[in-house]
Chain A
């Protein structure tokens, strides 16, 4: 496994260029800001733009023809069923993305001599993320919702995942850095399943809630595994 950090000629800090930094600070002290105020002006402007903004998009109208025809169709219940559909869409997008993240991580780990079955663990988690994806897919179909639509929260989850994907697919990142990225995803994923079960119950779908319990248990296991792998590796290198 690659070492987490290595000493070298990192040029980014001021200690690498003390003379230039002094000249830069001289300039800063001589030439003052030409616009009065501070960063609070941004707060005011951002909050005004928030007021003016349109939404990201909408949740598709539930009750597709395909869903309606199914005998097992689980009627939409609750005050705002679209909230639950939106979160299901988010989970589906997140799990589908999760499968790809683990595939990228397996590529990173496969040639490393880790002394442990890292690839095996990653493959196991990858397969479970796939199961979860299909689980949510089935739940959405059962509700007559369209699992192929990108709901607003699914779209936002995609924006959040961009950084994690960039870390995992950059050939220069090492295993601990990538495990850290996966940990970010797993922590969010874990809390999200917990919430989704509660939402399913609140929306009046106890069967769907029950079907999600296994996924939550598996996510608990993912979190422990990723945390342990990362901790073990970094502590070993630090000692």
Chain B
């Protein structure tokens, strides 16, 4: 795909033909053991994309009576797409194993985005967030090993490193240091807008997931670890949400989101290794083209403008779903000591007092992320294997 507007000639599946049955939505899950980890990465990511589509659409409906019905019609399909996607995660994943998979999504997808993002400030923001999710993976892997006696690499399948990044205990910042500068809608590349919508949606679902499953744990350390990391995910939603231009109209944001969904389903369909899941990505790509076309028609009607004004411009190649180990290691070596001062990235020594005070109070009664990961070194089969050898 070179441009989104180029593919608008393809009208996709008409909305009235986008149908589901309950049984297919609650269908057979993938295999935790036999499917490639990137199949699960795509599933988690696209559930995040669809739930964010619902979120945005509800937000727009609060401000626009005329759009309420068309938005509701599309939302119903998106709800069912999200269901069919999310129900592919099998029940043999413990919530903590799924958490490890969520962090793999955050690392591998954010790393891919950071490399293809043309705006240097936005790319810096992705690299900054990346090192924090990378560290979350390490803390959760330690928790999984020390709580359930399981090896996080069974989920990660060797694609993602399990070592410390920017320490989780240093992620907690004053809100004034979580707001980022935004792209300018008239000068930003389409892919910049798509990236911001994608990563914001992905982080939002991670936040919501941790908020839902954190209290399911009995272990007080696991409960607190989820509390500590969920708060960072809220900061990430704040950070990534700030990347998009607040002067974009509701319609523009809707168009960008639909374009992002098209781009992401195309990326998934291109690289999927499980034929059953590939067929689903292709089906949903056609559904999204249908949604994008509806959004374009409403854009013309309500704003009297050509959607190409928003959707024009070349797109880079599809989002690459592959191990980004080399890139992550480079970023880790170069940027682990970065902190934020307002929207600026600064060295650790220049971190504002507001963030230091904020986190010192939060940590004054102990930090689960430190306790659960003290001295943790991954080994094949878990740390007990290292200690036995």
Decide if A42 touches B146 in the complex (CB within 8 Å): yes
Residue-wise, chain B 134-161 has the 8 Å CB interface mask toward A (1 for contact) of: 0000000000001000000111011101
Asked if B163 lies at the interface with its beta carbon under 8 angstroms from chain A, I say yes
Query: Which residues on B sit within 8 Å (CB–CB) of A9?
Result: 34
B146, B158, B221: which contacts A20 (Cβ < 8 A)? B158
Tell me the interface secondary structure of chain B in the complex: loop
Question: Given the interface contacts A17-B157, A42-B146, A46-B221, does A11 sit within 8 Å of B375 by beta carbon?
Answer: no
Q: In the complex, what distance in Å separates the CA atom of A32 from the CA atom of B153? A: 18
Contact B220 A24 (CB under 8 A): no
Task: Mark B186-215 against chain A: 1 for CB-CB distance below 8 A, else 0.
Answer: 000000000000000000000000000000
Does A54 interact with chain B (Cβ within 8 Å)?
no
Give residues 38-94 of A contacting B (CB, 8 Å). 38-39, 41-42, 45-46, 49, 53
Tell me the B residues contacting A by CB distance below 8 Å.
28-29, 32-37, 90-92, 146, 153-155, 157-159, 161-164, 167, 218-221, 323, 325, 329, 332, 366, 368, 370-380, 383
Known: A11-B36, A14-B380. A33 touches B158 (CB 8 A): no
Q: Decide: B164 and A31 in contact? CB cutoff 8 A.
A: yes
Residue of A13, A34, A37, A170 near B92 (CB, 8 A) is A170
Residue contact A24 to B374, C-beta cutoff 8 Å: no
By beta carbon, the residue of chain A nearest B155 is A12
A33 CB to nearest B CB, Å: 5
Please state if A38 and B153 are interface contacts (CB–CB under 8 Å): no
CB-based contact B91/A20 at 8 Å: no
- A residues sitting closer than 8 Å to B (CB atoms) are 8-14, 16-17, 20-21, 23-25, 27-28, 30-39, 41-42, 45-46, 49, 53, 159, 166, 170-172
Q: Are B153 and A24 in contact, with the CB atoms below 8 A?
A: yes
| CA of A24 to CA of B156, assembled, Å | 11
Q: Which of B37, B372, B378 contacts A42 (CB 8 A)?
A: B372
Closest 3 CB pairs of A and B: A20-B158, A37-B374, A17-B158
Shortest distance from the beta carbon of B268 to any chain A beta carbon, whole Å: 19
Given contacts A10-B34, A34-B164, A46-B221, contact A28 B154 (CB under 8 A): no
- Chain A positions within 8 Å of B372 at CB level: 42
Given contacts A33-B164, A38-B375, contact A11 B33 (CB under 8 A): yes
Tell me if A's interface is mostly helix, strand, loop or mixed.
loop
Quick one: closest B residue to A29, CB to CB?
B377
CB proximity of B109 to chain A, nearest CB, Å: 18
Residue of A nearest to B36 (CB): A11
A31–B219 CA distance with the chains assembled, in angstroms: 28
What are 25 A-B interface contacts by the 8 Å CB criterion?
A: A11-B34, A11-B35, A11-B157, A12-B153, A14-B380, A20-B159, A20-B323, A21-B153, A21-B158, A23-B158, A23-B161, A24-B153, A24-B161, A27-B162, A28-B161, A31-B332, A35-B167, A35-B373, A39-B146, A39-B374, A45-B220, A46-B219, A159-B218, A170-B92, A172-B29
Q: Chain B nearest CB: distance from A169 CB in Å?
A: 9
CA distance A38 to B383 in the complex (A): 10
Q: Known A20-B323, A46-B220; judge A34-B34 contact (CB<8 A).
A: no
Residue of B nearest to A50 (CB): B220
User: Taking A42-B371, A45-B366 as contacts, is the C-beta distance between A14 and B164 under 8 angstroms?
Assistant: no
Q: Contacts A11-B34, A14-B153, A31-B164 given; indicate if A36 touches B374 (C-beta within 8 A).
A: yes
> Is there contact, CB below 8 Å, between B376 and A33?
yes
| A16 and B153 alpha carbons, distance in the complex (Å) | 11
CB-CB < 8 A to A10: which residues of B?
33-34
Q: Could you tell me if B91 and A170 are in contact, using CB atoms closer than 8 angstroms?
A: yes
Q: State whether A34 and B167 are in contact (beta carbons under 8 Å apart), knowing that A28-B379, A170-B92 are contacts in the complex.
A: yes
Q: In chain A, what residue has the closest Cβ to B147?
A: A42
